[in-house]
Homo-oligomer: A and B are copies of this chain.
């Protein structure tokens, strides 16, 4: 059930790519609201590291990732600040960032599942841990920007995280190789997300318009 050293290293690299991508995406959101430079960097940190922090707090999994490895904090600040300096280029890199954001979603999900599994938690909690790790950062970003979180409204974001977690957990239960099933879960989740973006797929909405109470 262990990850090979090769896969663990790959996951670590993808994690760094993901926090950079999330911090830069958050910085662009901050720029849309004309936040100051410090606000941009803080929003980048909260968005990139908030999902993992929420997971660790909810599961009682201490110390938190960025407390143990503070250079992750520095990376996200640097990524957010780079976004300010290179804002003119961001426009041209939009598709790249949507892709990296999708990579981040599935990578965070798989890492979240792993943390809960290593704590020996039940499968429902393992999947919830993946979902929280993948999605809470973006929810915090939207709350701090005073929006209704996108998560609740669009684009299969949470659904992608759930599908990724379900494939990963299901495959491990079926005793498939850890590296193999991790790869399959991530590719499947990534494909679903990119198809959802391309074809504007969304979950059905629940519209309730009866009188207020």
- Number of A residues whose C-beta is below 8 Å from B? 70
A210 at the interface (CB under 8 A from B): yes
Q: Which residue of B lies closest to A53 (CB)?
A: B58
A103 at the interface (CB under 8 A from B): no
Q: How many copies does the complex hold?
A: 3
A187 at the interface (CB under 8 A from B): no
Stretch at the interface among A11-19, A120-128, A174-182: A120-128
- Cross-chain contact A31 with B207 (CB below 8 angstroms): yes
- Cross-chain contact A39 with B153 (CB below 8 angstroms): yes
A202 at the interface (CB under 8 A from B): yes
Q: Which residue of B lies closest to A88 (CB)?
A: B210
A151 to B84, CA, bound (A): 18
A125 to B143, CA, bound (A): 24
- Cross-chain contact B94 with A213 (CB below 8 angstroms): yes
Q: Which residue of B lies closest to A74 (CB)?
A: B124
5 pairs across A/B with beta carbons < 8 Å?
A31-B208, A32-B209, A43-B152, A53-B58, A139-B144
